[in-house]
Amino acid sequence: MTHDHSAAGQPSSTADRRWLLAAFAVIVAFMIGEVVAALLAHSLVLLSDAGHMVTDAAALLVAVVAARIAQRPARGAYTYGFARVDALSGQANGITLLLLAAWFTFEAVRRLVHPVSVHGGVLAVVALIGSAVNVAATALAMRADRRSLNVRGAVAHLVTDIWAFAATFVAGVVIILSGWTRADAVASLVVAALMAWTGSGLVRAAGRVFLEAAPHGVDPGQLGSELAGVEGVGEVHDLHVWQIGSGESAVSAHVLVQPPYDCHEVSGRLRQMLADRYAIGHVTLQADHEDAASRDGEHCADAHGEVHIAPAPP
């Protein structure tokens, strides 16, 4: 028996892609202006943030492409579809942030040792404009489905930039008031720390998907106890619960059914419980009668099925 895996839990839609593209247009327009300002002001923090915004723009484009691929139906060798493209995109965003954090840290330390002249007024003005632009772009991107690691990665880039502009504004004010140009490098270190924190979180989240860890909020031990506590269930063995992709999980288990309950009816109740309590629609249960040995080898057939769950509105 075959099942359609494309309907349940898909993390993105055509509307999501439109919001992400709108955010992309806003970011690219401002990024061009920021590069010019950074060169005129000789500012590392502005140039580093402009580099970060290049990754913002790339992350948004990758998010659009990944969202499109993730919606493709299961076919051929890809029996679960392409849901993990979403995690690949999120992981790529995280790794990019970590690499940028390392580079900006190196440059910031170099400028702390050998400071250069920085125009504080340009920093402050560009930071104020940049904050407004990034808030607008973030608001657009956050209207997409944030259950998706792909979307979360793109939004993480944008949110980090908001904090970066706040640090840049403070650096600009310090330079204006005191002339201490090392404030630019210190602000760059703050931005690098934010990038490292955000990037490591994305890499860990993607790693959980690739290593097929249980979804956040799901304790496999508790889940097994709940399944075993359903009326008619004698024992539950070989329980596995893992993430197919963002917002999409699966469960498989061997269930021993107490007589005189029907194994197919019990399996149906178990699948419904998993859908209602945990929003898990991909369920494979091997159900056998607990006293199968006394029934001359009679066993229930494997009970495999899905409860399709409509995605929650973003």
Strand ranges (E), the chain? 233-245, 248-257, 282-289, 303-306
**Looking at residue 271, what is its pLDDT?**
93
DSSP secondary structure string for all residues of 97-138: HHHHHHHHHHHHHHHHHS-----HHHHHHHHHHHHHHHHHHH
**Looking at residue 308, what is its pLDDT?**
38
Query: For residues 165 and 187, is the Cβ–Cβ distance under 8 A?
Result: no
**Looking at residue 306, what is its pLDDT?**
43
CA-CA distance, 215 to 210, in Å (whole number)? 12
51 phi/psi in degrees, rounded to 5: -65, -40
Cα angle at 159 between 67 and 107, to 5 degrees? 110
Overall fold of domain 14-210 = Alpha-lytic protease prodomain-like (1.20.1510)
| Beta strand pairing call for 282-289 and 233-245 | unpaired
**Looking at residue 310, what is its pLDDT?**
38
**Looking at residue 87, what is its pLDDT?**
84
Overall fold of domain 220-306 = Alpha-Beta Plaits (3.30.70)
Of 136, 158, 155, 137, the C-alpha closest to 147 is: 155
Query: For residues 83 and 74, is the Cβ–Cβ distance under 8 A?
Result: no
Q: Would you kindly state where each structural domain of the chain is located, as residue ranges?
A: 14-210, 220-306
pTM, to two decimals = 0.72
Query: For residues 113 and 179, is the Cβ–Cβ distance under 8 A?
Result: no
Residue 277: strand, helix, or coil: helix
> What are 57's two structure tokens?
């723009």
- Walk along the chain (314 residues) and give the pLDDT tens digit of each residue: 333 343 344 444 567 778 888 888 888 888 888 788 778 777 776 776 677 677 778 778 877 887 777 777 777 787 777 878 878 878 888 898 899 889 889 988 988 998 878 778 877 888 888 888 889 988 988 887 766 777 877 788 788 878 888 888 898 899 899 989 888 889 889 888 988 988 898 899 889 889 889 988 899 999 999 999 999 999 998 999 998 876 678 999 999 999 889 989 999 999 999 999 998 988 999 999 887 544 444 455 444 444 433 344 44
Sequence length of the chain is 314
